[in-house]
Homo-oligomer: A and B are copies of this chain.
Amino acid sequence: MIQKLIENIKKTNAPIVVGLDPMLGYIPEHIKKAAFAECGETLEGAAEAVWQFNRKIIDAVYDLIPAVKPQIAMYEQFGLPGLTVFKKTIDYCKEKNLVVIGDVKRGDIGSTSAAYAAAHLGRVTVGTQQLTPFGEDFATVNPYLGTDGIQPFLDVCREEKKGIFILVKTSNPSSGEFQDRRFMGSAGSDALVHGEEGANGSDSRTLYEMVGEKVAEWADSCMGETYSYVGAVVGATYPEVGKVLRRVMPKSYILVPGYGAQGGTAADLAPYFNEDGLGAIVNSSRGIIAAYKQEKYASFGPEHFAEASRAAVVDMIEDIDRALAGR
């Protein structure tokens, strides 16, 4: 699936992913009104509004982009009807030939992680049947529990040719609370930044570097043609960290949240890419799906929210293209 992601990126010339994180506040009133009229002010009504909103945005942008990233929390908050629309959104995007990254941030131990991996990337055996529960192409995974938690995902990735993005450095303001803490020892990231000998045998590394090094190991064990099935999440809001982690995990695709609404600029993002122009995919959620709420795209109006999203996608692609050309 990493091959398909790369092919889609090359075909669209757009290393971007649209985050389908539909909070009710983003959805135009006319859509909610119609959904509530049909299903009531219920979880079903909310889910129907989300579905109509998603469908129109996907229809408006699918030919421009390689991938989407539905954030499952935004569906889970509407209970079972919400998760039904999560599944419907995945299926619809796959019909449109989009790569689907399930932003699920799951992570547990042994057989429990295996169940999550089957749920999102693999199949479950029921009697004589092999069935696909959700069927995303990629999933995001939390590393806190260590190799036990990751291994079942690696097994499924190999078998199904699917992929994962492991959280390494997240885009939020307090991500440093644990992720930036520095472990005992000497040398470390400075050596990496300055291109000196690596941090082998030394322990003065931050938690995110240590996780990044594990990602590199896991990535080596799960290679596609040029990139690994195992990628990493590194926030756009910490470009210096992105530079370090790019070197630590040369074979991993980096999924980059935090562009736009969270403050990351295209110029910040150039170091997340490899020399081949590949290796990173930049997410924007609110900046695309709620574009009609921005002054820049306000002239579209809520009725034409999906066209506003298309305009925002075009602008984002240009913005990143310019930054990569200029490096």
User: A residues near B, CB below 8 A?
Assistant: 21, 23-24, 32, 36, 41-43, 45-46, 71, 73-74, 76-80, 82-84, 87, 105-113, 115-116, 118-120, 124-129, 131-134, 142-149, 167, 170-179, 181-184, 203-204, 207, 210-211, 214
| Chain B residues whose C-beta falls within 8 Å of the C-beta of A84 in the assembled complex | 80
Q: Which residue of the partner chain B has the closest CB to A76? A: B119
Shortest Cβ distance from residue A140 to the other chain B in the assembled complex, whole angstroms: 9
- In angstroms, Cα B183 to Cα A182, docked, is 6
Say yes or no: B110 contacts A41, CB within 8 Å.
Answer: no
| Chain B residues whose C-beta falls within 8 Å of the C-beta of A36 in the assembled complex | 126-127
Say yes or no: A133 contacts B178, CB within 8 Å.
Answer: no
Say yes or no: B105 contacts A106, CB within 8 Å.
Answer: yes
- In angstroms, Cα B115 to Cα A21, docked, is 10
Nearest 6 pairs of A and B residues by beta carbon: A146-B177, A41-B127, A79-B133, A146-B174, A109-B172, A73-B115
| Chain B residues whose C-beta falls within 8 Å of the C-beta of A87 in the assembled complex | 79-80
Q: Which residue of the partner chain B has the closest CB to A133? A: B79
What is the count of identical protomers in the complex? Answer: 2
| Chain B residues whose C-beta falls within 8 Å of the C-beta of A79 in the assembled complex | 87, 119, 131-134
Contacts A142-B142, A145-B172, A147-B174 known; 8 new A-B pairs at CB < 8 A: A23-B115, A73-B112, A80-B83, A82-B119, A109-B175, A145-B175, A184-B184, A207-B207
A73-B145 contact in complex given A109-B172, A127-B36, C-beta closer than 8 Å: no
Shortest Cβ distance from residue A139 to the other chain B in the assembled complex, whole angstroms: 11
Shortest Cβ distance from residue A179 to the other chain B in the assembled complex, whole angstroms: 7
Give 25 CB contacts A-B under 8 Å: A23-B111, A32-B127, A36-B126, A42-B131, A46-B124, A71-B115, A73-B106, A73-B108, A73-B119, A77-B116, A78-B126, A78-B133, A79-B87, A79-B133, A80-B83, A82-B119, A107-B142, A110-B172, A143-B144, A146-B178, A146-B179, A147-B174, A149-B174, A181-B183, A182-B184
Say yes or no: B178 contacts A77, CB within 8 Å.
Answer: no
**Cross-chain contact of A73 among B116, B126, B171, B210 (Cβ < 8 A):** B116
| Chain B residues whose C-beta falls within 8 Å of the C-beta of A126 in the assembled complex | 24, 36, 41-43, 45-46, 78
- In angstroms, Cα B75 to Cα A133, docked, is 10
- In angstroms, Cα B170 to Cα A149, docked, is 11
- In angstroms, Cα B43 to Cα A143, docked, is 29
**Cross-chain contact of A77 among B23, B78, B118, B171 (Cβ < 8 A):** B118
Say yes or no: B133 contacts A148, CB within 8 Å.
Answer: no
Shortest Cβ distance from residue A35 to the other chain B in the assembled complex, whole angstroms: 10
**Cross-chain contact of A133 among B21, B45, B77, B207 (Cβ < 8 A):** B77
Shortest Cβ distance from residue A240 to the other chain B in the assembled complex, whole angstroms: 18
| Chain B residues whose C-beta falls within 8 Å of the C-beta of A145 in the assembled complex | 167, 170, 172, 174-175
- In angstroms, Cα B37 to Cα A63, docked, is 44
